[in-house]
């Protein structure tokens, strides 16, 4: 007789925080992300990519999406059952959308201009959504690699 034990559903975890549109706010976004992902036991490979993406998106929100007196918002959503982490950073400048990552002509000696290339390389998917009345949300999805179980011993033929 086969008996299946029901597994309790794994809860989707969420985090959201308003942060000042400053360098300090951008740094805090990365630190908060690291702490949340550690508490949620997100795999290290996903957590490392997520921290880099948050650092870039928060820096962009503080630098390019800044409107005096307006904050930016960091939101994280982790669905362990699906193995998907969604990162979203919302700022007040909906008129300044990120340009598609097709410009590879940024000179090698410039200090900026590669953030979206990094996001495209680190995220499984990314994009933007309008945030009415005048803002935008830049989001990225990261998929956690499925854990494969390997047997302790593989049959390699008769032992000699």
Instruction: Read off the tokens for 128.
Output: 């933007």
pLDDT reported for residue 96: 74
pLDDT reported for residue 145: 73
Which residues make beta-bridge pairs with 143? 84
Angle between helix axes 115-122 and 44-63 (nearest 10 degrees) is 150
User: Residue 86, Cα to own-chain centre: how many angstroms?
Assistant: 6
Sheet bearing 13-19, strands edge to edge = 13-19, 72-79, 84-91, 135-143, 125-131
pLDDT reported for residue 146: 57
Q: Is the pLDDT of residue 100 over 90?
A: no
CATH class for the region spanning 13-96+123-143 = alpha beta
pLDDT reported for residue 8: 57
pLDDT reported for residue 150: 33
Q: For the residues 25-48, what does the mean pLDDT come to? A: 97
């Amino acid at each position: 007789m086969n008996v299946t034990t029901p597994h309790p559903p794994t809860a989707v975890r969420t985090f959201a925080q308003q942060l000042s549109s400053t360098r300090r706010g951008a740094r805090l976004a990365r630190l908060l992300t690291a702490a949340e992902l550690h508490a949620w036991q997100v795999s290290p490979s996903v957590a490392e990519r997520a921290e880099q993406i948050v650092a870039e998106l928060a820096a962009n929100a503080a630098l390019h999406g800044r409107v005096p007196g307006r904050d930016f918002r960091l939101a994280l959503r982790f669905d362990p059952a699906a193995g998907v982490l969604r990162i979203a950073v919302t700022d007040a400048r909906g008129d300044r959308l990120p340009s598609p990552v097709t410009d590879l002509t940024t000179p090698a000696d410039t200090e900026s201009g590669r953030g979206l290339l990094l996001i495209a390389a680190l995220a499984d998917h990314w994009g933007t959504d309008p945030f009415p009345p005048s803002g935008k949300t830049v989001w990225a999805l990261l998929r956690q690699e499925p854990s494969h179980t390997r047997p302790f011993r593989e049959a390699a033929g008769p032992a000699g």
